[in-house]
Structure 1
Amino acid sequence: MGAIRRIETRIRRQAAFAASIGLFLAVVIGEVGASLMAPDGLNYMPFGYDFPAFWVAARLFLTEGIAGVYDVEAFIALQLPLAPQESVLLWHYPPTYLAMVMPLGWLSYPVALLSFTTLGLALWAMTVRYYRAVPQPLGWVVLFGAPAVVLTLIQGQNGLIFAALSGLAFQARAKGRLWLAACLIALGLGKPHLSILVPVALIAARDWPLFWRCCVTCLGLLGAVTLLLGADVWLAALNNTPLLRVAMATGDLWAQQVTAYVALKMLGAGNGLALVAQAISAMVAIVAVADVWRRREVVADLKLAMLFLATLLVSPYAFRYDMVLTLLGLSLLAQVLLRRGMRPGDKLIMLLVWIAPALSPALAVALGLQIGPLVMALGVALCWREAVVERRLA
């Protein structure tokens, strides 16, 4: 019997590995196909095609200071040899993220990309250990073979890093390591829109020990960034805001943005109506997180699931690679549903959330319809339903 079980375990592991490779290749093929068929003559871009913006910003800061980072001509000139087409990415990140990527400027481009990718995978592997819905190899497949993860790696983006920081922060909180949790949350200021609901959750839960530690560490990080980069970095970032608004308004990146604002703009709505829709989306997310986190009878997994699933509903600026964070929420929600029993339609909603990063751009290009915010809203609704069930049981 022992030999048979070992054989069965080995077969399951091999099947899980094959499934993971299959998922990875399917998303890669889909990404290549979508790029080749995209309008306006877009060509397929190689692995890590968003990463040059990070490396160029770091290199320019080390050589020319903050003025070089926001010098459009210098930024384009240094980035063009790394890009296979004329369109390039400019720097729209906050100074906190510039401080985080600055060491990349000391490395050559290939070494910097390899280091950045390796760091993301390592942090994600550390996080997946705690967030697998099932302990078998299938749990690793679902989280490592997910479209959000694969696309983040292909694009050379930072979704893995910031999702891992959030996931590890709340694991540290669960273990009572509050200063570590606060430091990890503070690092999330590199992409503030991915941490925007954290204070809402902590205040609703009246977790004042962690809340005040977060205030201290965030202020400390901002002070350290100011000392490292100079006080003028904040003014330069503020002056760059109009350029960011232009990038948002052109529509070139709408297919990859999973927000209510973009969804309405793609349907032809005016800017005012799109902003109203985004405000409603944000208010729903805030109320949902506050309501779930203030109730002691709701289990911790469901609270975290709500926080991670609702986060991208707040900001009008969020991309599909940011949905790595929603993947953590989806896994936690799956753990709750597996313990309690799923209802009809639950699996379909979770599948839609899981596959949305790969599916939403294709639908946006083909039909002019951005399904990202709707899919995440369904995940939030599912979380909220389970929280209501827990309150009734309590």
Structure 2
Amino acid sequence: MTVAALGSLPAAQPWRRRARVALVAALFDLALYNLYQVTRSPTRWPDFAFFYAFARAGVIEGYRRVYDPVVQQHWIQQLFPGAPFYVVVNPPPFSWVLAPLALLPFGLALWIWTLSMIAALAISSQLLAPPGRFLRLVYLGLWLAFLPAYLVFVSAPLAPLVILSLALAWKFVRDDHQVAAGLVLAVGLLKPTLAILVPVALLAAGYRRTFMAWLAAALAAVGASCLVLGPDGIRAYIALTLDFAANAYYLRWSLVPIVGGGVAWAVAVVAITLAIIWLAWRTRQQGLEITISIGVMGSLLINHHMTPGDLMMLLLPVWLLLRAGGSLVRDGALALAWVGGWLSLIFPVLVIVVASATPAAIFVDSLRSGRRLRSGPSELAREAAR
């Protein structure tokens, strides 16, 4: 029995009340554990500290030098003496977005950014939640109880902004504002690896205007970035990105430890991308929620490197699939996605398991749906019989 079913059956059923109470109690208990993590977190230098130094370097020294590791380290030590050195390899538009905050004192900028990321997750959960107070509470609880999500309070990573962009894109497409959806999807370019296959999946499912709007925004962003960086800046960006991608810590949540790097990883990426495109086309009649979920999981599968905060991306397919409903197979994958995502900070390989199992379950469900359609009258036959 799914959460959606708990929200739709008559409230008078005693078992339903008990199930509701048990679910809310479990989520509340896990949310308290996250609160404990927040209060006991050893994180002295949040992600935003390095974002802030990166943005300050761009504003003051210019973007042609911002991907020089010497420049980044200089600004980190100047602003945060004694801090470790973590490079920032996000594309230039990310620095442009942060530029207004870089002009503020760090403490104020950190509060603004952190509250904005918290609000992004809260808004996303309520935007995707079906009607009803219980279901809205559950969607909120699925976020607050999700172990990787505690990082938004202590580290302020970027992933919540990408999640919000996908939730808004879902809303705009449903309201037949496909161009607006494509432009909002372009926010994902601030960290392209998190959702790079979502626009492609939408194209395969028939949302051409959304894809074209996203592509136009992407080309504009790439062109502006190249102009701002210049040849030397582009070379520095590529070199810094390759160096970052070689860090074994960030490879733990990727396919690289399983298939290896180089050609083997590239072949796996091509195969997965083609499979995601085909699956999005095959399931195009099953709903927008399915298409976006396939795109997100595919993006995580081909992601060469991730940071712990990126694991919050797993919340989006859970919310979408829960809203869409489905068979026991898909519901099982949904539960696995949340539980596996919760444990992925401890057991990184679970990201690959979850990101593989969800599209597989959607495929199996599409086979079952296809058999049901073939065994019954077609839509055209039913229309003709009326």
Q: TM-score range by the shorter chain?
A: 0.7 to 0.9
Aligned counterpart, 1:199: 199
State how far apart, in whole Å, the 2-side matches of 1:301 and 1:318 are.
24
**Counterpart code for 2:31:** I
| Partners of 1:264 and 1:277 within 8 A in 2 | yes
State how far apart, in whole Å, the 2-side matches of 1:355 and 1:334 are.
17
| Partners of 1:282 and 1:315 within 8 A in 2 | no
Aligned counterpart, 1:158: 158
Q: Report Cα offsets for 1:310-365 as digits up to 9, x if no partner.
A: 2111231233322322211122223445x54458964762344331332225xxxx
State how far apart, in whole Å, the 2-side matches of 1:296 and 1:67 are.
43
1:161: how far off? 0.8
- Unaligned 5+ segments in structure 2 are 1-10, 374-386
| Identity of matched residues, % | 19
TM-score (norm 1): 0.77
Aligned counterpart, 1:378: 357
Q: In structure 2, do the counterparts of structure 1 residues 54 and 222 end up closer, same or farther at CA, with 3 Å as the change threshold?
A: same
Q: In structure 2, do the counterparts of structure 1 residues 331 and 61 end up closer, same or farther at CA, with 3 Å as the change threshold?
A: same
Aligned counterpart, 1:356: 343
| Partners of 2:195 and 2:295 within 8 A in 1 | no
State how far apart, in whole Å, the 2-side matches of 1:50 and 1:251 are.
18
Q: Report Cα offsets for 1:114-153 as digits up to 9, x if no partner.
A: 1111111222222111334771522210123312322243
State how far apart, in whole Å, the 1-side matches of 2:119 and 2:331 are.
36
Aligned counterpart, 2:43: 45
State how far apart, in whole Å, the 2-side matches of 1:176 and 1:206 are.
13
State how far apart, in whole Å, the 2-side matches of 1:93 and 1:286 are.
26
| Partners of 1:258 and 1:373 within 8 A in 2 | yes
1:11: how far off? 7.9
**Counterpart code for 1:24:** N
TM-score (norm 2): 0.79
User: What value does the CA root-mean-square deviation take over the aligned residues?
Assistant: 3.5
Q: Report Cα offsets for 1:237-285 as digits up to 9, x if no partner.
A: 432322332233242444xx411014455xxxxx44xx41453255224
Q: Report Cα offsets for 1:34-81 as digits up to 9, x if no partner.
A: xxxxxxxxxx432x5222221011111222212452343342233136
1:179: how far off? 2.6
- Of the three residues 22, 30, 49, the one matched with 2:32 is 22
Of 73-82 and 372-381, the range deviating more from structure 2: 73-82
Aligned counterpart, 2:72: 75
Q: In structure 2, do the counterparts of structure 1 residues 221 and 28 end up closer, same or farther at CA, with 3 Å as the change threshold?
A: same
**Counterpart code for 2:212:** W
Q: In structure 2, do the counterparts of structure 1 residues 144 and 234 end up closer, same or farther at CA, with 3 Å as the change threshold?
A: farther
Aligned counterpart, 1:115: 112
User: What aligned pairs does 1:1-394 form with structure 2 within 5 A after superposition?
Assistant: 15=25, 18-19=28-29, 21-25=31-35, 27-28=37-38, 32=41, 44-46=42-44, 49-80=46-77, 87-132=84-129, 135-222=135-222, 225-226=224-225, 231-232=228-229, 235-254=232-251, 257-264=252-259, 271-272=261-262, 275-277=263-265, 279-337=267-325, 339-341=326-328, 346=333, 349-360=336-347, 370-394=349-373
State how far apart, in whole Å, the 1-side matches of 2:146 and 2:256 are.
25
State how far apart, in whole Å, the 2-side matches of 1:52 and 1:318 are.
18
State how far apart, in whole Å, the 1-side matches of 2:122 and 2:71 are.
37
| Partners of 2:180 and 2:210 within 8 A in 1 | no
State how far apart, in whole Å, the 1-side matches of 2:60 and 2:264 are.
43
1:86: how far off? 5.4
Q: In structure 2, do the counterparts of structure 1 residues 304 and 215 end up closer, same or farther at CA, with 3 Å as the change threshold?
A: closer
Q: In structure 2, do the counterparts of structure 1 residues 212 and 342 end up closer, same or farther at CA, with 3 Å as the change threshold?
A: closer
Q: Report Cα offsets for 1:219-242 as digits up to 9, x if no partner.
A: 34445x45xx95335751432322
State how far apart, in whole Å, the 1-side matches of 2:147 and 2:343 are.
8
State how far apart, in whole Å, the 2-side matches of 1:199 and 1:344 are.
25
**Counterpart code for 2:124:** T
State how far apart, in whole Å, the 2-side matches of 1:73 and 1:212 are.
38
Alignment length (residue pairs): 356
- Unaligned 5+ segments in structure 1 are 33-43, 266-270, 362-369
